[in-house]
Amino acid sequence: MTQSISLTRYLVEQQRVHGRIPPELRLLIEVVARACKRISISVNQGALGDVLGAAGTDNVQGEAQKKLDVIANEVLIEANEWGGHLAAMASEEMEGIYVVPNRYPQGEYLLLFDPLDGSSNIEVNVSIGTIFSVLRKPENGGAETAVEEQDFLQCGSRQVAAGYCIYGPQTTMVLTVGDGVAMFTLDREQGSFVLTQENIRIPADTKEFAINMSNLRHWDAPVRRYIDECLAGRDGPRGKDFNMRWVASMVADVHRILMRGGIFMYPWDKREPEKPGKLRLMYEANPMGWLVEQAGGAATDGRRRILDIQPGKLHERVSVILGSRNEVDRVTSYHTK
């Protein structure tokens, strides 16, 4: 019988054998994974646990919060604030950054998260997830300097770890520390994440696209052209039929793309022209963009590599095109030519 490898063992090997991550980062990822296990329990309780429905509050983006958005946010903060690995956290559900209180040991990392992605799917029992990104606190004055929002405004290419946990038929954590993408499935009997796939690769070509088609009339010409060509199928310029999937949980759509390829798009559209996109750069597009690149795919906003975008603010939005490399390159070329 082959021995199963837990997330903890995988991370210890990344640290000790391969020297890819320092011990503090390993411990930080383990705490995030523990928090995700806790969130998974709440998600599974559903109607039994009084966790469904609206929280009755709005977040900083003016979106109505679900009870689970708030619960997941609290779980992540409580699990991480006393561990000693973090200087501060930022979340989709909090307007400003959360600086680790000085009664707890201070660390060198910054953690960003979308505590519950795909909130519109909570009540209908469709996959949702937690997305996270880890940056290093910039060395702009030593460990004693107070951390500020400005410290978070780093390009995605500076991430030191990123991942998501999807709460679906299985609870699965997908992670990169910059050396490929690994997947861990939660073994509920053992209570631990077990390595179930390493070195995930996204095929360069695909016949599957993911976009919210109801926004078609609002799209810009390059996106419209790309989708029109897909819809024309084998009779059109692409010479092949395409399939469409849209879960409306970015975690679930990206997970499918990591497992079997595809392209995901949430582009800029004319409804709110001053808004660059719907999705958030720092805790949705950056971690997902890095995972996809680490699996051999690509991620752009139509013109720029997502990971090269310099954020101007914490909750910055961005247009997102990611997945199978040849398709992303094609849509990007439609924008730039």
Which residues belong to the annotated binding site for substrate?
A: 117-120, 212, 278
The enclosing H or E element of 321 equals: strand 320-323
Question: 259: buried, middle or exposed (CB in 10 Å: 19+, 13-18, 0-12)?
Answer: middle
User: Among 89-97, 99-107, 212-220, 326-334, which window interacts with Mg ion (CB under 5 A)?
Assistant: 89-97
Among 117, 151, 269, 327, binds Mg ion (CB under 5 A): 117
For 285, residues 6+ apart whose C-beta sits below 8 A from its C-beta are 156, 279, 299, 301, 306, 318, 320, 322
| Nearest residue to 186 via CA among 175, 163, 162, 170 | 170
Among 206, 249, 300, 332, binds ligand FBP (CB under 6 A): 249
User: Among 43-51, 148-156, 232-240, 243-251, which window interacts with ligand FBP (CB under 6 A)?
Assistant: 243-251
Rg (CA), the chain: 20
CB of 92 to ligand FBP, least distance (A): 6
- DSSP H helices, the chain, are 7-16, 23-45, 67-81, 221-231, 250-260, 286-294, 325-336
Cβ pair 186, 193 in contact under 8 A: yes
Q: Which two tokens stand for residue 272?
A: 């709110």
CB of 79 to Mg ion, least distance (A): 17
For 316, residues 6+ apart whose C-beta sits below 8 A from its C-beta are 276, 280, 281, 282
From ligand FBP, Mg ion, none, interface partner of 249 (C-beta below 5 to 8 A by class): ligand FBP
From Mg ion, ligand FBP, none, interface partner of 120 (C-beta below 5 to 8 A by class): ligand FBP
Place of tokens 């519109």: 120
User: Among 102-110, 116-124, 198-206, 262-270, which window interacts with Mg ion (CB under 5 A)?
Assistant: 116-124
Among 114, 253, 293, 327, binds Mg ion (CB under 5 A): 114
CB of 11 to ligand FBP, least distance (A): 26
Q: What are phi and psi of 283, to 5 degrees?
A: -125, 10
Site for Mg ion in 61-80 (CB under 5 A): none
Instruction: Provide the angle, in degrees to the nearest 10, between the axes of the packed helices 7-16 and 23-45.
Output: 160
**Distances in Å between the alpha carbon of 22 and those of 29, 150, 155, 159, 174?**
11, 24, 21, 14, 19
By CB under 6 A, is residue 120 in contact with ligand FBP?
Answer: yes
**C-beta of 151 vs 269, nearer to ligand FBP:** 269
By CB under 6 A, is residue 259 in contact with ligand FBP?
Answer: no
By CB under 6 A, is residue 231 in contact with ligand FBP?
Answer: no
**C-beta of 81 vs 92, nearer to ligand FBP:** 92
By CB under 6 A, is residue 55 in contact with ligand FBP?
Answer: no
Cβ pair 238, 232 in contact under 8 A: yes
Cβ pair 109, 134 in contact under 8 A: yes
CB of 337 to ligand FBP, least distance (A): 27
Tell me how many residues contact Mg ion (CB under 5 A).
4
Please give the residue ranges that form the binding site for Mg ion (CB under 5 A): 92, 114, 116-117
Please give the residue ranges that form the binding site for ligand FBP (CB under 6 A): 63, 92, 114, 117-120, 212, 248-250, 266
